[in-house]
Structure 1
């Protein structure tokens, strides 16, 4: 014969078990619903996640947005600064990625078009770039703009160098020079890049030099000292 007390106790345990299960499943369902809403808001851009950061390529320096300098006024050129004769534009062709040999390839193209290439080099790993850049000082703005006409688009970054030479830093995602026929003629004034600022309003970046270039300069200096000795 079944004990009524035992049946009642067993029924009570089952009800409590069902209640606990209902609470647990309810909490899980509520959590999943909140997580789904949060994920959807983050995906659509309505909400920025707590660990949100811009996408960067591993091993490549993050390139901050910096304003490019506007072209200066040039005496005798009231319609705007004209491109310089290419031979007056001195360039350092620097590989800023793991793509070996591109600095030499760019040198060949630029020299073939009449530019003066001073040095070849490779940037240290800490200065590797995703996008190519032209870096130059306040005295080399027209030189940089002249060189920029050879490319479909390229970043212009002013640094603190004193001279007029320009560093071409060839990044991971580089653009090839445009065809010669697509380059504006030398008698056509250069155009300012969008959102440029007067050079006086820009804080120049510290110049980054290639380790290989520095070593090459030291080697040349030591070689000269040996010959003199």
Structure 2
């Protein structure tokens, strides 16, 4: 009995399948070798990956320290409050909304004797209310700040003694007069954590735009 003659077509197909399998297995082996080498390099620190880099989270700049009270000539025990009539104040709304906060504060401060010289809307929106002053207006800024529970003192580079009240989003109304801890004969106290003015880099003075 004779064996059947081999089928050329079947042999060719089988040969191609073997070649294809050899290519596939070869690619798998090469991939595994590359992956192994890369893993070993990362483990040994030969190169870094995006996952090995520390995640950078931007940190908000620390707020400027509040200025301490200056030494005042003739007041060796500490700076006394400035008479309200000698405190020139500009009051600006730095909060969202249509509520006329600047006008409302102008009414209260004028009633108490402060010299309000301007009102309007500020250039930007603020969270905490601020009282801004230059070095000549620090005692006036402290006198005004005593009227509010949480206004922050900010030193800017203005040359005059006028101070600005910027009413922010976290606005608190003025304290009632019986809670204002000022006495004409008692020196004022420094803000907690303050620095001498000459150790603070003042922010640039900003001027509120005129409406209309």
TM-score by length of 1: 0.64
1:147 corresponds to? 144
1:18 corresponds to? none
2:73 corresponds to? 75
1-structure distance, mates of 2:63, 2:202: 13
8 Å contact from structure 2 (residues 155, 202) kept in 1: yes
How far residue 75 of structure 1 moved from its aligned partner, in angstroms, is: 1.7
Tell me: CA distance 1:97–1:139, structure 2 relative to 1, closer, same or farther (3 Å): same
User: Which structure has the bigger radius of gyration?
Assistant: 2
Listed as ranges, the matches of 1:51-130 within 5 Å are 52=57, 64-100=62-98, 101-124=100-123, 127-130=124-127
TM-score by length of 2: 0.69
Q: Report the secondary structure of 1:91's partner residue.
A: strand
Gaps of 5+ in 2: 1-53
1:219 corresponds to? none
How far residue 52 of structure 1 moved from its aligned partner, in angstroms, is: 4.2
How far residue 51 of structure 1 moved from its aligned partner, in angstroms, is: 6.2
How far residue 201 of structure 1 moved from its aligned partner, in angstroms, is: 0.9
- The alignment yields a C-alpha RMSD, in angstroms, of 1.8
Gaps of 5+ in 1: 1-48, 55-61, 217-229
Q: Please tell me whether residue 50 in structure 1 is matched to residue 55 in structure 2.
A: yes
1:186 corresponds to? 184
8 Å contact from structure 1 (residues 63, 129) kept in 2: no
The structure with the largest helix share of the pair is 1
1:17 corresponds to? none
